[in-house]
Each structure stands twice: as structure tokens, then as C-alpha cells.
Amino acid sequence: MEEELSLLWGKFSLREEEQVGVSLATSEIVPLVTRGKDCLVGKLLTKRVMPKEFFRASLLRAWRQSGEVSFNVIGENMFIAKFEHMWDKARIMEGRPWLFDGNLVSLEEFDGLTPPSAMNFDMASFWVRMYNLPLACMRKEVGQKIGESVGIVEEVDILDEEAGWGTFLRVKIFFDLTKPLARGCMLYFQNQSLWVAFKYEKLPKSCYHCGVIKHDRQGCVSPGTSRTPVKEEDQPYGNWL
């Protein structure tokens, strides 16, 4: 509805009295901006419109917060959650990503100055497991460098500052949901090259054809998209990510 109203508004020519508008003093805005420090703004990234109470109850069961949380709907599959305790809010942000029915619940800090229709929820954090690394490359610095080829590195999960030896290196990365998922990367060192494969923890539903988590309203528009069903194992992306 918000997008439709914006499109209609864009077609209008404003009358003189409409152009004058209304000016707001900072004091009229600050109270709710301050109150918003206890809040998160979220959106369920799916075209299906979810029943508010069912969605709210499912999310609260997953969050297991210690205090009260109030929900207000602010758009299609969009909500604002106000927390009684700031530590609940911090823990829920730290525990991202959150899923509902396999779809991503994208969460953002409250800023109060952006209309809900202008919020895009295009970025999210995921833990990425990096496989097939030589033991000498399982270091924080290497995880940081590989992660930066995907997005913004928030954390490299190693217990020992010197070595992250294990079956994989785990890196938390903040990246763009409108771009294809990185399936891995080539690593070059000492005249050698090898493929480092990625797996994503709590990966939501995504397009098996183009690898994008968040499509626009038209769905997958990548060249070569076919209406003919293709076996999952023949798709360039899949559950193996």
C-alpha cells in the first residue's frame, strides 16, 4: 500500500498551498526518537502476508526474552518491537539471523526518521563456514580477508588468537541480500590455487537459480530463467549452501 501511495503521489503536481507544507521543530521529534532506543524495526522477507498474532507468538517463542515485548504493525509484514529490557534487544540482535517458516526476519535499529515505505532491509548478518582451507590459513587474518570479499566482517570465531584449527573457519559477515550468495572463493598463495567452499548457518529461503535471498516484487529476472522445472541438483544454488 505504501509503495502504491508513493507512486500515485509522484504523478501529482502540487498546488501552491501543498508546497508550503508543515515545518516541525526538533522538540516535536525527539521524544519518540528517544523512546525508539528500546525498539527494533523488522520485516519478514516473503510475499505472503502473515497473520500478526501467529507471527508474533512464533517470534517470541524463538526469542525467549526475559521481559515484555510490544508489537506494532507498521506495514506489510513489517513491525516495530519495543523491549522492556535493553539486554533482550542486544541479545536478539546478536543472535541474528532469525527465521520464520524458512523466511528471513530482517531486523534493523530504530532511527525514527525514515518512513517505513523507504526502509529496504537489504543487509543482514550471517555466520559463514569456510571449508577446504589449509591449516596454515586457518587464522583470524585470513578469515577477515576472505570475508571482506563477501561483505563487512563482524567477527572471526576462533578460540586461539594464533590458530583456528578445525573442520572449517567460521566468520560472521554483514552482506547485501539483493546480490547472489557467494558459494566460495578462489584462494591463491605460494604459486598454488584452491577453492574455498562456503556454507551458511540458518540460511533462509533463497532463489536456486540466481542465488539471491531478497528478490524484488517481480521475482527472479536473471537471464536464462526458465518456467520449465529444473532438478535441484542441476541448479547453480541449493540447500547445500
Cα distance between residue 102 and residue 99, in whole Å: 6
Question: Which H helix or E strand runs over 141?
Answer: helix 140-147
Provide the 10 A C-beta neighbour count for residue 18.
Answer: 9
Q: What percent of the chain has pLDDT over 90?
A: 55
For the chain, how many helices (H) and strands (E)?
A: 6, 10
**pTM recorded for the entire structure:** 0.80
Which cell numbers hold the place of 88? 533482550
Provide the 10 A C-beta neighbour count for residue 199.
Answer: 16
**Using an 8 Å Cβ cutoff, are 213 and 181 in contact?**
yes
Residues 6+ apart with CB under 8 A from 1: 75, 76
* Partners of 78 in beta bridges: 43, 75
Q: Domains of the chain (ranges plus CATH)?
A: 2-118 (3.30.70.330), 123-234 (3.30.70)
- pLDDT tens figures, 3-27: 565 656 566 677 777 677 788 888 8
Indicate if the pLDDT at residue 51 is higher than 50: yes
Amino acid identity for residue 6 in this structure: S
Indicate if the pLDDT at residue 128 is higher than 70: yes
pLDDT score at 219: 58
pLDDT score at 229: 46
pLDDT score at 213: 84
Task: Collapse the DSSP code of 44 into the 3-class scheme (helix H, G, I; strand E, B; otherwise coil) and give the result.
Answer: strand
**What's the mean pLDDT when you consider all of the chain?**
85
Indicate if the pLDDT at residue 187 is higher than 60: yes
Sheet holding 184-189, edge to edge: 152-157, 169-176, 123-131, 192-200, 184-189
